[in-house]
Structure 1
Amino acid sequence: MIDILREVGMIERALDSISNIEFKDINLSNLQFLYVVRIYEHPGIIAEQLANLIKVDRTTLARAVRRLEKQGYVYRESDPDNKKIKHLYVTEKGKQIYPFIIRENSHSNEVALQGFTPEEAQQVHDYLKRIRQNIDADWKFVKRGGKRKY
């Protein structure tokens, strides 16, 4: 069997390393930029939705959001009907760094897809999306306390 997850993991770690270095000037690391981007793109998102979108547990998400709040990139706002629900938004500071993050993402995509035709790039995207969707059910199952059978 072909072990594509090793390749995906190496790609992910390489890009994490690059972004940690390149985002050092704006004091973002450990995928914090991803939280800023997703909150920017989904204003008013709640923590549970964001955790599912990024595929992290709630504890990791809460820690990251607290740090981003302290850094002035995001803020929480109580829901007018249910004070327990907190909606997440980016601040002006967060809005200012969004274009920089997107430029880095676009550049990384261009580098990753060098030599691919537009059709091949679309195929890669579609295959990766299918892989993620296949894994999503296991992710939800395990997060809810389930134990996979090997």
Structure 2
Amino acid sequence: MTSETETSSSADVLQDLDSGWFIYTIKQIELGLRIPTEEVAEQAGLTTAQFTALAVLERWPGITSSELARRSFVRAQTMAENVSVLLESGFIQRERDPENMRRFHLYITDTGHDTLSSGRSAMDDLEAKLLVALTPRDREEFAKHLRNVRRALRDLPR
């Protein structure tokens, strides 16, 4: 149970935050991660967007290109370009939807899994360095809050 002192000090911290502090801090984190994540993806022979697309397809096999774009927070046209490269490289395959012949479902191939795995341990190491100061419980709470913020993004225009 949270004590009254903890509650009031938490409220004081929030009052001290300038308008836009969260967005600014999230952007700082994103920019700080850009080069390390690009390096990890590059070592696997991919761009960051391609690495992300493979990771998304590994988790949600059979989604469409437009769904892949939504889950990767990029425009459909941008994802179409990445999908073309991934198809040509043999990292993913597409299968026609038997119920809608114009729709294709995307799947990561064994080559795609191997390529993704080659970068996964470096990505895991990077993540561990970021979270080293958090206890396991703090990590669970942080993950919960990040998922909530990510869900809220779905309602924003792109």
Q: With the length of structure 1 as denominator, give the TM-score of the two structures.
A: 0.82
Deviation larger for 112-121 or 4-13 = 4-13
What's 2:82 paired with?
Answer: 64
What's 1:89 paired with?
Answer: 107
| Partners of 1:13 and 1:2 in 2: CA distance | 16
Deviation larger for 23-32 or 54-63 = 23-32
2:2 matches 1:9: no
Q: 42, 62, 69: which one pairs with 2:60? A: 42
What's 1:33 paired with?
Answer: 51
**Quick one: percent identity of the two aligned structures?**
23
Displacement of 1:64 in angstroms is 1.0
Q: 96, 111, 123: which one pairs with 2:129? A: 111
Question: Which is higher, the Rg of structure 1 or of structure 2?
Answer: 2
Q: With the length of structure 2 as denominator, give the TM-score of the two structures.
A: 0.78
Give the ranges of 4+ consecutive aligned residues of structure 1 lying more than 6 Å apart after TM superposition.
Answer: none
Q: 121, 133, 139: which one pairs with 2:151? A: 133
Displacement of 1:128 in angstroms is 1.7
SS in structure 1 at match of 2:47: coil
SS in structure 2 at match of 1:120: helix
SS in structure 1 at match of 2:106: strand
Contact 1:73 1:93 in 2 (8 A): yes
How many corresponding residue pairs?
A: 140
RMSD: 1.8
Deviation larger for 5-14 or 76-85 = 5-14
2:72 matches 1:54: yes
